[in-house]
Amino acid sequence: MDINGITSFRDLILAPLGANEILVIACDSLGGVGPKPHDNVKTPADVVGKFTVRVPLMEVLACGASPFAVVNTLNVEMEPTGTGFIKGIREEIMMAGLSDDIAITGSTEENTTTCQSGLGITVIGRAAKSELRLGKSGAGDLVVCMGWPKVGSEVLDGTENADPVLVKKLLTLPYVREILPVGSCGVLYEAELLALGSGNRLALMPFPNIDLQKHKSAGPSTCILVSIEEIYLTALSELTDLPLFIIGSLAKK
């Protein structure tokens, strides 16, 4: 991908850093989930921080970039809620093996009392242009969903959720063309974006076990899409305990 100026690609902002590097920016937000009185889904503050940073962290990693900064903008007071959010953010970064590489900064709301949780998180990374994994899929590749799309209280069971550790594993596999965390628009929307970004179209395959889930939000990216050649499907399935579903294949427009 040739990037000569600041541009957007899917949910990412890309900007050239000199001749050979790319700055990659991703963000996510959350509201109404947390320990506050008016939160719709009651959740400990550290869990909220953990899952909210997970989304932009995976998005930056998935495109082949190395995160180096996390910015959190919290609509809550520092003590006790903000401290809990930040604790979860740090734990997720540590779990991903990135604690020595990332600086964390942010802001809290100290001027008024809040009764509902809300936060935004931005992750910034950098990548060599030659290592950027965007638009790399080819005609004939399968688009495979790893994990189930889940949202709200469904996420909190702690099982069958994609995470940054899985993304980092996938990045080491030469047969994985692209990795795309699924967001609130659902599996089908993201699969079509993956196809479009590589100059192809998506040819859907009818798989009833995932069919009803294609338009459902995946919350904090509880599932991810990968593009691979069909011969590597077995190898991919052996990599994880997450359920795998073939969404379709890529075809020339």
In a domain, 54, yes or no: yes
CATH of the domain at 123: 3.30.1330.10
Q: What is residue 204's predicted lDDT score, i.e. its pLDDT?
A: 87
Mean pLDDT of 212-216: 65
Which of these three, 82, 107, 131, is where a domain ends? 131
Say whether both 122 and 205 belong to one domain.
no
Residue 160, domain member (yes or no)? yes
How buried is 174 (Cβ within 10 angstroms: 0-12 exposed, 13-18 middle, 19+ buried)?
Answer: exposed
Backbone angles phi, psi at 60, to 5 degrees: -70, -45
Please indicate, yes or no, whether residues 18 and 41 belong to a single structural domain of this protein.
Answer: yes
* Pair (153, 113) in one structural domain: no
Distance separating alpha carbons of residues 183 and 191, to the nearest angstrom = 11
Specify the pLDDT at position 70: 97
Domain final residue, candidates 131, 159, 188: 131
> Is 1 within the bounds of a domain?
no
Mean pLDDT, range 154-178, rounded to an integer? 89
167 and 119 fall within a common domain: no
How many Cα atoms within 13 Å fall on the side-chain side of residue 6? 2
Give the domain range for residue 90.
7-131
Query: Tens digit of pLDDT for each residue in 44-101?
Result: 999 999 999 999 999 999 999 999 999 999 999 999 999 999 999 999 999 999 988 8
Q: Are residues 119 and 166 in the same domain?
A: no
Q: What is the pLDDT of residue 228?
A: 97
Domain count, the chain: 2
Distance CA 111, CA 118 (A): 15
Entry field: residues in the chain:
253
Three-state SS at 82: helix
Residue 186 belongs to some domain of the structure: yes
> In the prediction, which pLDDT does 28 show?
94
Report the pLDDT value the prediction gives residue 158, as an integer from 0 to 100: 63
Using the structure block, give the residue that is written with the tokens 């990795």: 179
Is 59 within a domain?
yes
Tokens representing residue 116 in the block: 């509902």
Residue where one domain finishes, among candidates 101, 131, 161 = 131
Share of the chain above pLDDT 90, in %: 73
State the chain's mean pLDDT as an integer. 91
| Residue 70 shares a structural domain with residue 89 | yes
What CATH number corresponds to the domain at position 160? Answer: 3.90.650.10
pLDDT for 205: 82
**pLDDT of 152 higher than 90:** no
In sequence order, the β-bridge partners of residue 118 are 31
